[in-house]
A and B are shown apart, each in its own frame.
Chain A
């Protein structure tokens, strides 16, 4: 037996080991040389190799969920189709009337009927405050090359929480009550546009107002009598006639920076049943915009004068009196805080562009109501002031957020769709 560690065996083992190492070294050299051979010889080759590498890991372009959603909304014209489709069903979104709160309901519109001359639209909507309205109209927006317009319309609505504080400037906030105004209205509108800036219009409507107890809080009948709230006990049907002239030079129309809009309207409310509530009214609504700093700042002025005259021995029913107070006029007061036969509203806003889609505004509102026209002066005006921000484009304000202060009606936070005036 040979010892396991015999010299021959050891020599043989060393030889084999050296041979293995030599072979391994040669193998390493071969591999390394191969690696060396793969180094690019030219710039073009270097770039080609980089591209070859990328070709092994190609993936299709991926879009994130947000991008896909936005793309879908844009390419499908989602917002246009949703909010202002010319045809088909759509969700009617927004306020029904001042104070109704957010409302929603189905709408339907069909444009271009009757030989592409007319548009039909209808909607039914109910609000969070349980206001509801059904509306339908057939509109001829541009007859005679756009110089003539007309529509026929009908609506039925129920406003169950209209605020009433009493009539006159001395009404008290603590006398807040509510009433329900339920009414139908059918009518027609017609007018001409002799120039792009001038509209002359007329309308006739048949109205069937009905007053009942309010659904929220103290109801009107608990605190006020028909003597204090004319028309509370009984409501006739009315025919309302209106003649109006509207000069509109605002630029741009949706979010004005210059020009103005000057409207005057004569209204006749004819009591068809009781011969007790017929009256005439004249409304003067003036807006004027003074551009500053190349339209980047604007001084916006607004004045409204409304004066009503009942026929001899008759009165203006409280539910058709003009009101002041709320997010669109005296913003530091509650909605419909003041009402009477005559009203005066003065508003001034300094608006400044913060960036393309956002304006700031500092405002001051003043106004009063009066039972006699001669009292419609600048003394004892209710007033407020505030600051706000408007979001939108030059074509219109989508949303405004405001804080109103300085009145004896408390502080008010306002968030509304659309412009103030």
Chain B
């Protein structure tokens, strides 16, 4: 009996406590967070990891690693946006960037001259010929040359890709197009190279000459290359597009569920960045001892657009994985009578600097990297919409300015690249800005006037919906549910007023916005927007973009 009473007392005490406080609220006071401070815990014990190209291909192709649940991205804030973090810094998506700023990208200076900077060692990774040099202050840089068959191709692609990825928000290392005078190449006395026996030995002029023999020589006798500055900190290897680093306390969101990684598929498709895989990423350990953290970089854009780094991109790239069972089996079974559609694509006979790049056949949805990427596989329409909104921020003028950074000697090559990027951008927007109900930027004034925008209409890829249906309700932040009666209003413009009965006395209100459009039935899936009463009006604190038919 005594113990029964004790048990009853314990339950009663817990019940009292439960009723005396609320469960975790739907929105915290600091929502929506703009910065995810994922550099607060010391990651000094993180250790470098190396990746195997063969294993990565096999793992991604045959094993499908990562959490494959179809769930909403886990690192977004309550407004469905990606907060700043060690992975991503909102730039063009959050503020206006001048074209000059976009073009400058991650670079601290406009140009650099590497004449006389000594070679300190060879370049051992990747297929592109190159070496490493140091500047007068001892900072390390990597040189990569263009292939003889396609002068300017890879180096232009590198700086164009870097500028775009940087403007979007990714961490990118500084890089420039340079011309290297072979007469001014200096080899440091302690420079080394690995020979084919695996031994590291002193580097010689013959080693450099062999490298240059695999590089494109310009009519002026120089060699064009990209020079990339090594990032700050200590290299930790690459990040995977799934799971988390087990040695980084700050890395808590599975990478396959990070929106900026899922959504980078949109960017990769636009730019034909078929080599967008974990091994082309870089983790760097930054900060002082005791307060170290990992910053995550994307790098190696030498094989985007029409470039395959050391040759013009192969026609398969971007259209099919290296090993894709369906088409392969069809081709095998029909003795080749089945013809993959991409085989028949015509590439314009332009400058070799362009490589193989086109926009007519390009289908954003069917676009493929070299082999499966878990985050790309898990990209949902809301992730794609996020990416497409960022792509939409690049105007024609900005794209032409970025392409000019590639320093194409043939104006026709630059024009073709820019035109193709613009056409591909338009396809990306048409595909992915319309894949969800594209309501963005909701605002509710102190007087109760709601305004919002339609991203697809704003980008010119859809006509104005015939109507919007607004369903208003009070919202209980403690329970995360709407309370009381709802009121539905049908409007023809992207505006409406919150009903007085809903707003009166409410701490939070919510409005579900449905778009009625004959061409886009999926737009009837609501975008639920939540506003919190603030001293100066209503603050948008939540945006929940429902997907038609999506499972959680």
Given contacts A71-B50, A71-B51, whether A55 and B28 have CB atoms under 8 Å apart is no
A294 touches B54 (CB 8 A): no
Residues of B within 8 A of A12 (CB): none
Number of residues on chain B facing chain A (CB within 8 A): 65
B94 interface residue (CB < 8 Å to A)? no
Among B170-178, B245-253, B527-535, the one that faces the other chain is: B245-253
Residues of A within 8 A of B360 (CB): none
Nearest-neighbour CB distance to chain B for A77, whole angstroms, equals 7
A296 touches B2 (CB 8 A): no
A61 touches B196 (CB 8 A): no
Pick the contact of A356 from B124, B247, B323 — CB < 8 Å?
B323
B17 touches A29 (CB 8 A): yes
Pick the contact of A67 from B18, B24, B55, B340 — CB < 8 Å?
B55
B252 touches A28 (CB 8 A): no
A362 touches B2 (CB 8 A): no
Contact mask for chain A residues 51-78; partner B; CB cutoff 8 A; 1 contact, 0 none: 1101100111111001100110111110
In angstroms, Cα B1 to Cα A20, docked, is 13
A356 touches B28 (CB 8 A): no
Given contacts A17-B2, A352-B336, A360-B335, whether A42 and B196 have CB atoms under 8 Å apart is no
Given contacts A40-B28, A61-B47, A63-B49, whether A353 and B9 have CB atoms under 8 Å apart is no
In angstroms, Cα B196 to Cα A71, docked, is 16
A116 interface residue (CB < 8 Å to B)? yes
A21 touches B331 (CB 8 A): no
A39 touches B21 (CB 8 A): yes
B343 touches A294 (CB 8 A): yes
A223 interface residue (CB < 8 Å to B)? no
- Chain A's closest residue to B47 (CB) is A60
List B328-343 residues whose CB lies under 8 Å from chain A. Answer: 328, 331-332, 335-336, 339-340, 343
Residues of A within 8 A of B38 (CB): 47, 51
A253 interface residue (CB < 8 Å to B)? no
Given contacts A25-B13, A47-B252, A293-B344, whether A66 and B55 have CB atoms under 8 Å apart is yes
Pick the contact of A61 from B29, B52, B246 — CB < 8 Å?
B246
Residues of A within 8 A of B17 (CB): 29, 32-33, 35-36
B332 touches A75 (CB 8 A): no
A70 touches B52 (CB 8 A): yes
B335 touches A42 (CB 8 A): no
List A309-339 residues whose CB lies under 8 Å from chain B. Answer: none
B71 interface residue (CB < 8 Å to A)? no
Residues of B within 8 A of A87 (CB): 195-197
Chain A contact patch, size range = 35 or more
In angstroms, Cα B16 to Cα A43, docked, is 26
In angstroms, Cα B322 to Cα A39, docked, is 49
B336 touches A74 (CB 8 A): no
A294 touches B336 (CB 8 A): no
A1 interface residue (CB < 8 Å to B)? no
Residues of B within 8 A of A42 (CB): 28-30
Nearest-neighbour CB distance to chain A for B182, whole angstroms, equals 16
A412 interface residue (CB < 8 Å to B)? no
Nearest-neighbour CB distance to chain A for B349, whole angstroms, equals 14
A36 touches B21 (CB 8 A): yes
B328 touches A81 (CB 8 A): no
Nearest-neighbour CB distance to chain B for A142, whole angstroms, equals 11
A46 touches B28 (CB 8 A): yes
A50 interface residue (CB < 8 Å to B)? yes
B31 interface residue (CB < 8 Å to A)? yes
B249 touches A55 (CB 8 A): yes
In angstroms, Cα B12 to Cα A36, docked, is 15
B37 interface residue (CB < 8 Å to A)? yes
A40 touches B53 (CB 8 A): no
Residues of A within 8 A of B52 (CB): 67, 70-71, 74
Pick the contact of B316 from A63, A67, A85, A356 — CB < 8 Å?
A356
A74 touches B13 (CB 8 A): no
Contact mask for chain A residues 178-194; partner B; CB cutoff 8 A; 1 contact, 0 none: 00000000000000000
Pick the contact of A21 from B5, B59, B327 — CB < 8 Å?
B5
Residues of B within 8 A of A70 (CB): 52, 54-55
Contact mask for chain B residues 37-76; partner A; CB cutoff 8 A; 1 contact, 0 none: 1101100010101111111000100000000000000000
B41 touches A21 (CB 8 A): no
A54 touches B252 (CB 8 A): yes
Given contacts A47-B252, A51-B40, A353-B331, whether A85 and B2 have CB atoms under 8 Å apart is no
Nearest-neighbour CB distance to chain A for B25, whole angstroms, equals 10
- Chain B's closest residue to A293 (CB) is B343
In angstroms, Cα B337 to Cα A172, docked, is 40
Residues of B within 8 A of A29 (CB): 13, 16-17
Given contacts A41-B28, A42-B30, A75-B50, whether A32 and B14 have CB atoms under 8 Å apart is yes
Nearest-neighbour CB distance to chain A for B77, whole angstroms, equals 8
In angstroms, Cα B59 to Cα A70, docked, is 12
A51 touches B322 (CB 8 A): no
A355 touches B196 (CB 8 A): no
B37 touches A355 (CB 8 A): no
In angstroms, Cα B40 to Cα A146, docked, is 60
A59 touches B2 (CB 8 A): no
Pick the contact of A55 from B41, B59, B195, B198 — CB < 8 Å?
B41
B110 interface residue (CB < 8 Å to A)? no
Contact mask for chain B residues 321-365; partner A; CB cutoff 8 A; 1 contact, 0 none: 011100110011001100110011000000000000000000000
A377 interface residue (CB < 8 Å to B)? no
Nearest-neighbour CB distance to chain B for A353, whole angstroms, equals 7
A128 interface residue (CB < 8 Å to B)? no
Residues of B within 8 A of A80 (CB): 196
B6 interface residue (CB < 8 Å to A)? yes
Residues of B within 8 A of A116 (CB): 206
List A355-375 residues whose CB lies under 8 Å from chain B. Answer: 355-358, 360, 362
A88 interface residue (CB < 8 Å to B)? yes
B335 touches A362 (CB 8 A): yes
B188 interface residue (CB < 8 Å to A)? no
Residues of B within 8 A of A51 (CB): 38, 40-41, 249-250, 252
Residues of B within 8 A of A354 (CB): 328, 331-332
- Chain A's closest residue to B334 (CB) is A352
Nearest-neighbour CB distance to chain B for A146, whole angstroms, equals 10
B115 interface residue (CB < 8 Å to A)? no
A294 touches B315 (CB 8 A): yes
In angstroms, Cα B195 to Cα A86, docked, is 9
Residues of B within 8 A of A73 (CB): 54
A41 touches B14 (CB 8 A): no
Residues of A within 8 A of B344 (CB): 293-294
Given contacts A43-B30, A51-B38, A61-B49, whether A25 and B9 have CB atoms under 8 Å apart is yes
List A70-129 residues whose CB lies under 8 Å from chain B. Answer: 70-71, 73-77, 80-81, 85-88, 112, 116
B246 touches A60 (CB 8 A): yes
A sample of 12 inter-chain contacts (CB < 8 A) reads: A32-B13, A36-B21, A43-B33, A44-B30, A51-B252, A59-B246, A60-B47, A67-B52, A74-B53, A85-B196, A356-B322, A362-B335
User: Which 5 pairs of residues, A with B, have the shortest CB-CB distance?
Assistant: A352-B336, A28-B13, A55-B249, A32-B17, A71-B52
| Given A41-B29, A42-B30, 18 further pairs, Cβ under 8 A | A17-B5, A26-B13, A32-B14, A32-B18, A43-B28, A43-B30, A51-B250, A51-B252, A60-B45, A66-B55, A67-B59, A75-B50, A81-B196, A81-B198, A86-B196, A296-B343, A360-B336, A362-B335
B interface vs A, CB < 8 Å? 2, 5-6, 9-10, 12-14, 16-18, 20-21, 24, 28-31, 33, 36-38, 40-41, 45, 47, 49-55, 59, 77-78, 124, 195-198, 206, 245-252, 315-316, 322-324, 327-328, 331-332, 335-336, 339-340, 343-344
